Structure 1
Amino acid sequence: MARVGYLRLLRQRPILVLWSSAALSVLGDRLYGLAIMWVVYEATGSAAWMGIAAVVESLPYILIGAFGRGLIARFASFGRLGWLDAGRAVIACGVPLLWTPGRGGLVVLLALVLALGTLGVLFDPNLGSLVPDLVEPGQVRQVTGLLDLTNRLAVIAGPGCVGLILMAVSEVQLFALDGVTFAVSAAAMWWLRAHTRRAAAGHPAVPDTVAPAAGPAAPVAAGPVLRRHPDVALAIGLHGVGFFVAAVSAVGLPALLAVRLGQGATGYGLALSAVGAGALAGNLLVGNLRLGRWLTVYCCAWSVTGLALIAYSAAPTLPAVLAAGFVSGLATPAAAVTLRTRLAGFAAPQRLRLLTVDQTVIRTAGTVGMLTLPMAVDAAPATTFAGAGLLLLTAAGIAGAAGRRVVPASVAEPVASRS
């Protein structure tokens, strides 16, 4: 069912352009992530500096997301997003030209990473806010699932693609290839700007669900919106907990496989593939299905992820690890698509602000997790996995129980229209 729905969406040229550029951008993100980690490690020989690079890239997401709502709102149009990606293309392509071995080159590299992160925090929530207006309201869940599919495909195909590319270029040259993906994305944004203007000119009475406004949206405060919709506040908080504990599996799975099961790189690769396969299957299931109350589905998805972390800690064999990874992957799209679909129901200014808050929360929580949890993983991998799973399971249970009380009050107040 999801596959058919996705194909129907891709027959719409704006969605095809958007999805194609997003798929290429996801590959670019894989190139960028690998390049920054390897270049920094080769320059310093220090895992600590790799962590510093990750923190530097996240700082703009945390600071601008928390204090720059007016700045973010200034870029709420496809045309301005095109200029942001053009800037990222120039910066990324400039890294191989400006990079030199040694601490001086490292400082320049971190400055460029900071600049890319700054442009990224302005781009990401605005694109997420504009996408729902490209389709009819009944297709929002499908288009959200379709864009989520690019991430799921990247988990499976990304490592292989990067490996093939590295056979022809060096790690630092991956930045230039990432720059090319930004340039393609910029062209796609400008095409979408022209398309929406033509749609607005040809159908002046059509609401902005079909022809979104080209100008920037007025910034709004998140507090009043979240107080009126506590179900969304609960979901964003749970999202933060999920990203905090994600550091355990991100850095701890190799250690867990080595310590408990004596597995090496092959076992780790199989475990990642199992997660990717589960996420792909989960996306194809959730893209078009309405499974009940959105917050209940959301909390259940995170509960499954918590149970999978606990299962990791107790898995006696590699097949058991693969099964836990597959189940964890199944739950990931259910959480992501469900929350994005809920936020798409708000008017554009509120939607943008809530997406920004969500992005700030998960970036902050993920950064804190990466700075603290690896030490616990080093000391006791299995115990840390079990503790992280229990924490996530508890948070999901609390959010679900609280949601059953607050959702009726939230739903009683109608969601703001998009007009």
Structure 2
Amino acid sequence: MHGAEPAEKSAGAEKAAGPEQEAPPRAGWRRLLMDTRPLRSSGFRHLWSSTTVTAVGSQLTAVAVPKQVYDVTGSSAWVGYSSLAGLVPLVIFALWGGAVADSMDRRKLLLVTNAGIAATSLFFWIQAAAGARSVPLLMVLLAAQQACFGINAPTRSASVARLVPASELPAANALISTVSATGMVFGPLLAGALIPLIGLPELYLIDALALCAALVAVWRLPPLPPLVAAGQGAGAPRRAGLREVAAGFRYIAAHQVLLLSFLADIVAMVLGMPRALFPQLAATAYGSWGEGFALGLLFAAIPLGVVAGGLLSGTFSRVRRHGLMVIGAVIAWGAAVAGSGLSGSLWWAVAFLALAGVADMVSMVFRGAILQSVATDEMRGRMQGVFTVVVAGGPRLADLLHGTAGSVLGARTAVTGGGMLVVVAMAALALAMPALRRYRAA
């Protein structure tokens, strides 16, 4: 069978009012560049602009919190504990928040959670400006912020399929992923430059002001109430409890394409994300370049590749074989990671990691499109909640796995082995369960 069930194929067609007339196809080299068709929809344009405004600002807080924790404690262990304090509420509230997003107007939920994230950034600024040196306070604020983000992220992603035609979902995901990756590249650089100039508290304030500006864009979204499902009355209430969260997992188990899209990301991230080994590589394999210089390049390489893939997303955003694109992208990711481990030169390692970033962008685009089009609207929030947990949890498990392997086998061996395991595992998964490789977009 090619693709999903007929009812599933039509799910991605639900959307808010917006321009649907096809623009004439771009000719020549312009077809290689980012596909901007989704921006013709005013609703998506507002959603995307709110993401753009906060992409860099959120990274300022992401740098400021561990910096403040380290300044107070002088301990990297406490920095790790603070990360865990943010991960636990993120996982819990992403799963529950997906159910909430399926039960109420998503625009209202975005407004509430964006306001919550802005409020926590404001409290971060207040405590830093007041000279507070309380790590428990920082961890409580971080937990509250990540809880709000855990609800916001699946709500935002689930809204995309209501704002653009199904055929433009890959392009829409590429646009959002590109600005997010750009923030990951330039946000930390900007934070590093601003801390000596304006101080740590002002980083929190800039993020809070950016989030307030993003609220204006979210306010301009059209209403996104739950669609009426078959067999339900127009006023039928929806719940968001444990039963509904469990129903989301049963839905994934019943739809093999969805299950495989999650497994593909787990294979790529858990087996192949090498970031925990970057400090060891910078100190040992590439120390002749200067440890700090090598470490910065290694950390920047994958996000730069993601940005490059987004800028050239016109090369793949119109492909209908979404399943094959995911499989190919994950295998390419693993091969590129293995190549970086085999590289004796820092520049070759960075080049391979950048290629891995391009493959990661392709995988993100089509996994997101599969989730948004296969799942019905009443399930999209819960699917995106699980997606958020996988995306947040996978790299952290990889840090544990690769850090342990690197201390035993050596950093380059661990990186190479992880990449090769991705290639083998993804190829085996694709051969054993053909639903993903057969899937075509409607």
Give TM-score scaled by structure 2 length.
Answer: 0.80
By relative contact order (CA 8 Å, sep 6+), the higher-ranking structure is 2
One-letter code of the match for 1:317? S
Asked if 1:260 corresponds to 2:296, the answer is: no
| Stretch deviating more after TM superposition (215-224 or 39-48) | 215-224
TM-superposed CA distance for 1:259, in Å, is 0.8
Deviations along 1:355-393, one digit per CA (max 9) or x if unpaired, are 111222333333333345434434521122123223322
Residue range with higher mean Cα deviation, 38-47 or 262-271: 262-271
Change (3 A) 1:281 1:366: closer
What secondary structure does 2:344 align onto? coil
After TM superposition, give the deviation of residue 151 of structure 1 in Å: 2.2
CA distance in 1, matches of 2:97, 2:117: 19
Residue 301 (1) aligns with residue 329 (2): yes
Q: 1:181 to 1:378 in 2, by over 3 A?
A: farther
Work out which of the residue numbers 289, 305, 310 in structure 2 matches 1:278: 305
Q: Runs ≥4 in structure 1, deviation > 6 angstroms? A: none
Query: Would you say how many aligned residue pairs link Structure 1 and Structure 2?
Result: 396
- Match among 407, 418, 422 for residue 388 of structure 1: 418
Q: State yes or no: 1:91 paired with 2:116.
A: no
After TM superposition, give the deviation of residue 395 of structure 1 in Å: 2.6
Could you tell me how far apart the structure 2 residues matched to 1:227 and 1:160 are?
Answer: 42
Q: Residue 34 of structure 1: which of 52, 58, 63 is its match?
A: 63
Listed as ranges, the matches of 1:352-371 within 5 Å are 352-371=381-400
State which drifts further: 385-394 or 160-169: 160-169
Against the structure 1 CA distance between its residues 21 and 276, is the aligned structure 2 distance closer, same or farther, given a 3 Å change threshold? same
Give 1 or 2: higher helix fraction.
1
* 2:197 match: secondary structure: coil
Q: Distance in 2 between matches of 1:374 and 1:171?
A: 30
**Contact persistence 1:277–1:326 (CA under 8 A):** yes
Structure 2 SS opposite 1:133: coil
In the other structure, the counterpart of 2:276 is: 251
Alignment check: 8 A CA contact 2:334 2:420 kept: yes
The aligned counterpart of 1:144 is 173
Structure 1 residue runs of 5 or longer lacking an equivalent are 201-205
What does the per-residue CA deviation read over 1:319-354, in whole Å, with 9 as the maximum and x for residues that have no partner?
211221221121011000001111111221222111
CA distance in 1, matches of 2:237, 2:196: 43
Q: Is 2:428 the partner of 1:401?
A: no
- Could you tell me whether the CA contact under 8 Å between 2:96 and 2:385 is conserved in 1? no
Deviations 1:62-111 (A, max 9, x none): 22344665445455511221121112211111113224768x61001100
Structure 2, unaligned runs of 5 or more: 1-30
- Please report the TM-score for the alignment, with normalisation by the length of structure 1: 0.84
Change (3 A) 1:325 1:365: closer
Among 199, 214, 225, the alignment partner of 2:251 is 225
Alignment of 1:240 onto 2:270: no
Which SS does the other structure have where 1:134 is aligned?
coil
Distance 1:72 1:196, change over 3 A: closer
The sequence identity of aligned pairs, in percent, is 21
* Shift in CA distance, 315/355, structure 1 to aligned 2, threshold 3 Å: same
Residues in 1 aligned to 2:187 and 2:267: alpha-carbon distance in whole angstroms: 26
**Equivalent residues of 1:308, 1:325 under 8 A apart:** yes
The 2-side partners of 1:238 and 1:9 are apart by 26
In the alignment, the residues of structure 1 paired with residue 434 and residue 324 of structure 2 have an alpha-carbon distance, to the nearest angstrom, of 8
Contact 1:75 1:126 in 2 (8 A): no
Tell me whether 1:116 sits opposite 2:145 in the alignment: yes
Letter in 1 for 2:349: V
The change in CA–CA distance for 1:18 and 1:67 in structure 2 (over 3 A counts) is: closer
Asked whether the 8 Å contact 1:88–1:116 carries over to 2, the reply is: yes
